[in-house]
Amino acid sequence: MLFVGALVGSLWPTLADAHSGANWFDDQAAMNSSGSPSIRINLSEQKAYFYKGGRLVGVSLVSSGKQGFRTSPGKFRVLAKRPNHRSSIYGSFVDRNTGRVVKADVDTRKHRRPAGTYYRGAKMNHYIRFNGGIGMHASGHVPRYPASHGCVRMPPHMARKFFQYSRVGMPVTVTY
């Protein structure tokens, strides 16, 4: 079954669809195409492409690293996958007694934890790590421009598909 934003049914998307603004994923092609999976991330387009062999089986809009936190171009491999990952650097300080966020958008390397609080890392569900601590993951905020701390944000439904069909060791190419 084809999973899409704008397409429906079992239609195979055209090249024009691949370059449109739609998120789509063809599960049948991902399961039945021969060859190894790979991901290509185009930072200029703010899109990620999932291939099985030489066949394009999915496209997702993404949001990569903003100025000062740019996502590095290069050739990488999937290092790890974690379905319910939390950031060890970016998150919030939360009051131990009330559970209320005391300070949001903290960077543990720069901000000191106030007394009576604990650190709660930002959710990074369906995390596919490919360059040090940088990876692809689900996010509720995926503008069509660089806005992250270096990771590649994806809409949750697309992050789930890329996570499902990716494998540790598979290639990830990041270009402009």
Q: How many CB atoms lie within 10 A of CB 134?
A: 21
151 catalytic residue (yes or no): yes
111 catalytic residue (yes or no): no
Catalytic residue among 85, 111, 126, 137: 137
Q: Give the whole-angstrom CA distance, residue 2 versus residue 12.
A: 8
Count, residues in the chain: 176
Q: Give the whole-angstrom CA distance, residue 85 versus residue 17.
A: 32
Half-sphere exposure of 39 (CA within 13 A, CB side): 33
Give the residue numbers annotated as catalytic, written as ranges. 137, 151
